[in-house]
Structure 1
Amino acid sequence: MMRKTLSISVLVFFFSWLGQASIAQVSVPLPGSKVLEDLNMPSKILGKPVNFTVYLPEDYDTSTRRYPVVYLLHGYSDNETGWVQFGEVQEAADRAIANREIPPMIIVMPDGGVTWYINNHDGTVRWEDMFINEFIPFIDKEFRTRPKKEFRGISGLSMGGYGSLILSMHHPDLFAACAAFSAAVWTDEEVKAMPVNTRGGLFEDIFGTTSDKTLLTDHYKANSVMHIVGTRPKADLEKVRLYLDCGDDDFLYKGNSSLHILLRDRQVRHEFRMRDGGHTWSYWRTGITDGLRFIGESFHR
């Protein structure tokens, strides 16, 4: 396997193409399951509707049972349709449920824009507040979820991998498990080494900046997965089961590997996978079932 070290200066290029599909064999959903698209929730916090897509398992319309729920987050420049259109999550979930690899579950895919799924530094865009205080309660009301921590998971890719980690670390009382794919996490040294135009284009609106033009603001540190793992008590970090998966040719491999090492050094239980592949939909398609299985196992604990 070849490990490619990509220049951070082309990072924007990769993020801008997250929504592009690669050629893959077309699979057909099993009869009965459905994907509801073009849904939205009015948000007072954001002052605009939040679009979302929902996967419902095969027996949802023919039963009265309640289901565990997984929130599945998209990457930078994508939207709430990406995991269905390019990630083929309906087909993956159908197969895994039919094979009894995962329990029947509801999968909710909200549109996170380019918010990084948090509140920005000046409070003008409060996506995290919306998600916690409006969106999750809305989903629990509108769909037959099992509205408890023990039956709620979160996952995502790239920006969404970061989002799944940071939301589960900020709110460990709400999630049983987190499965992060190719999570957009960096060490402080990587952030400081980023070209100024890269930092500004991707992050400054979210994290702010400092007089020396780095991103290492107080808001950045409060929302840095690495800082949280390095400073929070081990018992708190283990309140949510963690699963990390990143390709060996992914330009985010260093941050993901560093996160794994830090978790190991602190003796925090977690699962880490580094498979052959890059920052591509073909990689995430082949990994999503294992991520859902990991989360599904948490629902049985």
Structure 2
Amino acid sequence: MKKLLVLLLLGFTLQAQSKLDSITYVSKTVGTNRKALVYTPPGYNKKQTYPVLYLLHGIGGDEKEWLRGAKPQEVLDQLILEKKAEPMIVVMPNGRAMKDDRAIGNVFDKEKVEAFSTFEGDLLNDLIPHIEKQYSVKKGKEYRAIAGLSMGGGQSLNFGLGHPEYFSWVGAFSAAPNTKMPEELFKGEPDFKLIWISCGDADGLLNISQRTHDYLFEKGIPHVYYVEPGGHDFKVWKNGLIQFGQRIFKEVDQKSLVGLTELGIPASTNVAGQKFPQILPDQRVRFQIKAPDAKKVQIDLGKMYDLVKDADGNWSGNTEPLSGGLHYYSLVIDGVKVVDPHSKAFYGMGRYASGIEIPKRDQAFYKERNVPNGDIRIKKYLTGGVYKEMYVYTPPGYDASPDKFPVMYLLHGGGENHTSWFHQGKTNIIMDNLLADGKAVPMVIVMMDGNVRGGYFSEGYLERFESELVKDVIPFVEKNFKVSEQRALAGLSMGGIQTLFAGIRNPQLFSSLGVFSSGWFANNPSLSDPHYAIVKEKAAELNDRFKVFYISMGGEEDIAHENCRIMLERYKELGLKYSYSEYPGGHTWPVWRHDLYQFAQQIFK
């Protein structure tokens, strides 16, 4: 009891010693005197120096918004009392840099919104110099932090990341749409002690924080991404201040921050608005399904994971860490496999199955960007007396152009169909980005259904595929699309086998072949001998005809790697020229997306 009384008295004494001042400073940027609140910590002494946090408000607030919504002086007093935070000065300015800077009228007026950008000059040229003249502060970027909520979170990212010479600590709580696109935020090599991004999982602006995190993760830039239960409110923002305040002005292990998420974040493959599945920091996945009447619920990811039921009928559980990329899975309820209603479904296991995308670095080439977009057109064609469907990518400007475009025929793998290169492969995004960067020739891409009567490996299936491609698909495309006679053929896995079969037998039709994660049948002489006989007979013609013969694998872990190795040895013996590439990842979609990215840059040039 005596110890508790001492702590309470000590807390009261320290709290009484902290101070909140209302100050006025001259703003040459705005051309007027402006106001701010300044918190000085318990025991503030002008003989000592202190680091400074600049704490910014939202679009409808002013310098007093934090005071009204979170009482930051009490939060900081407690953190400092418990030695969880360094003693610091906190400046709460008005981030609406205009002469009439009150939050009255329509706060979304153009002039008022633009004033939040004007605050950048006011902060750097007027406010910071005033604070460093009037208060006992430690000078230098390592002793200066900036953070804010909503509109102020966007300002913090824009100004903080945009001025690494001023700030080492940058925090954004529920950053608003005023946040610049990630690629615009950084100048030179990032050099920050801490970049903190937090948001509520039910916040309608979560996508702003997510896109910034995705960019930082992709680039391997150390940061913390903290998603917590909540919306766009002070419960989240106050906790953001508590979490950020404990971490600034201290030594930080940068390696421990790369891609860190302190709570699970919804997968990008979730149906809009669904919180689960969630991806945890170490790439485990947390599932949660409401099924109060079920006796047993599992997740089938190649390995079965049992979920545990709570009192509300929610079944939940975590997987082991998963590799980056797209994973097909099934929800199993009392022994029946079904799609997870929380996730998007993909045709990828000979049926529609749920899918979850695990983030993977070095995949910026298939991230959506603000670039001109091509179209995906769905067409039906007649083959063998039945109608089948194809997806066709046409590049930006296709309709307005008088030109004919070269065409790539792009084939899926076993268990997939014509939708796979679009939904799983992100063909349109890859091509839009390549064309925007001037790295590829504008082309039409035809994604046909390579599943033929009798199925994969049935007798004569390759001949049936060849007939459909040559006699039905190519004539249909040339009748219905503005395409030239420049053609390429490419495919993954089963589609790679189809590419080899149809391409090598019909070199007059194609100028380039792309074979991804595939290799000719190594242990089936009835299939391999005729193939290599054609290669031997036509090697000179094939070398002359194929401007690009690109073969790639997903590293030694690719299940087709050995077949491919044997095939390449035979091609070399027979004098067939090719280029070979490996991209680690195995027999997976991140590898095939990368294959398309590489192949598309080489053809039709």
Q: With the length of structure 1 as denominator, give the TM-score of the two structures.
A: 0.70
The alignment status of 1:126 with 2:118, answered yes or no, reads yes
Task: Give the one of 41, 45, 60 matched to 2:25.
Answer: 41
Aligned to 1:85: 68
Q: Structure 1 68/284 Cα, relative in aligned 2: closer, same or farther at 3 Å?
A: same
RMSD: 3.0
Aligned to 2:184: 228
The alignment status of 1:249 with 2:202, answered yes or no, reads yes
Aligned to 2:128: 136
SS in 1 for 2:16: coil
Aligned to 2:548: none
The alignment status of 1:64 with 2:17, answered yes or no, reads no
SS in 2 for 1:65: coil
Identical columns (%): 30
Deviations 1:17-50 (A, max 9, x none): xxxxxxxxxxx9822111112x211212211112
Q: Structure 1 225/72 Cα, relative in aligned 2: closer, same or farther at 3 Å?
A: farther
Based on CA coordinates, which of the two structures has the bigger radius of gyration?
2
Counterpart of 1:177 in structure 2: which amino acid? Answer: W
Deviation, 1:133, is 1.2
Deviation, 1:51, is 1.0
Deviations 1:81-118 (A, max 9, x none): 111221111111001001111110000011012779xx
Deviation, 1:181, is 0.4
Aligned to 1:262: 215
Deviations 1:240-262 (A, max 9, x none): 52010000011111121121111
Q: Distance in 2 between matches of 1:47 and 1:283?
A: 35
Contact 2:194 2:252 in 1 (8 A): no
Q: Distance in 2 between matches of 1:51 and 1:275?
A: 33
Aligned to 1:9: none
Contact 1:176 1:239 in 2 (8 A): yes
Contact 1:176 1:298 in 2 (8 A): no
Counterpart of 1:58 in structure 2: which amino acid? Answer: P
Contact 2:168 2:191 in 1 (8 A): no
SS in 1 for 2:15: coil
SS in 2 for 1:289: helix
Off by >4 Å, runs of 4+ in structure 1: 119-123, 298-301
Contact 1:168 1:240 in 2 (8 A): no
Unpaired segments ≥5 residues, structure 2 = 1-11, 99-106, 255-605
SS in 2 for 1:71: strand
The structure richer in strand per residue is 2
Contact 1:155 1:179 in 2 (8 A): yes
Counterpart of 1:56 in structure 2: which amino acid? Answer: T
Q: Distance in 1 between matches of 2:56 and 2:193?
A: 17
Aligned to 2:87: 104
Q: Structure 1 64/76 Cα, relative in aligned 2: closer, same or farther at 3 Å?
A: same
Aligned to 2:230: 277
Q: Structure 1 47/258 Cα, relative in aligned 2: closer, same or farther at 3 Å?
A: same
Q: How does 1:147-296 map to 2 (within 5 A)?
A: 147-185=139-177, 224-229=180-185, 232=186, 236-239=189-192, 241-296=194-249
Aligned to 1:22: none
Counterpart of 1:73 in structure 2: which amino acid? Answer: L
Q: Distance in 1 between matches of 2:251 and 2:207?
A: 28
The structure richer in helix per residue is 1
Q: Distance in 2 between matches of 1:94 and 1:122?
A: 34
Q: Distance in 2 between matches of 1:161 and 1:295?
A: 16
SS in 2 for 1:296: coil
Q: Structure 1 258/34 Cα, relative in aligned 2: closer, same or farther at 3 Å?
A: same
Q: Structure 1 245/129 Cα, relative in aligned 2: closer, same or farther at 3 Å?
A: same
Counterpart of 1:175 in structure 2: which amino acid? Answer: F
Aligned to 2:573: none
SS in 2 for 1:97: helix
Unpaired segments ≥5 residues, structure 1 = 1-27, 187-222
Q: With the length of structure 2 as denominator, give the TM-score of the two structures.
A: 0.36
Contact 1:151 1:299 in 2 (8 A): no
SS in 1 for 2:232: coil
SS in 2 for 1:31: helix
Counterpart of 2:30 in structure 1: which amino acid? Answer: L
Counterpart of 1:42 in structure 2: which amino acid? Answer: V
Contact 2:193 2:252 in 1 (8 A): no
Q: Distance in 2 between matches of 1:120 and 1:33?
A: 33
Task: Give the one of 58, 74, 77 matched to 1:94.
Answer: 77
Contact 1:179 1:294 in 2 (8 A): no
Deviation, 1:185, is 3.7
Deviation, 1:299, is 9.0
Deviation, 1:228, is 1.6
Deviation, 1:126, is 3.4
Q: Distance in 2 between matches of 1:155 and 1:225?
A: 18
SS in 1 for 2:249: helix
Contact 2:97 2:119 in 1 (8 A): no
Deviation, 1:300, is 11
Q: Structure 1 30/300 Cα, relative in aligned 2: closer, same or farther at 3 Å?
A: farther
Counterpart of 2:151 in structure 1: which amino acid? Answer: M
Count of aligned residue pairs for this structure pair? 232
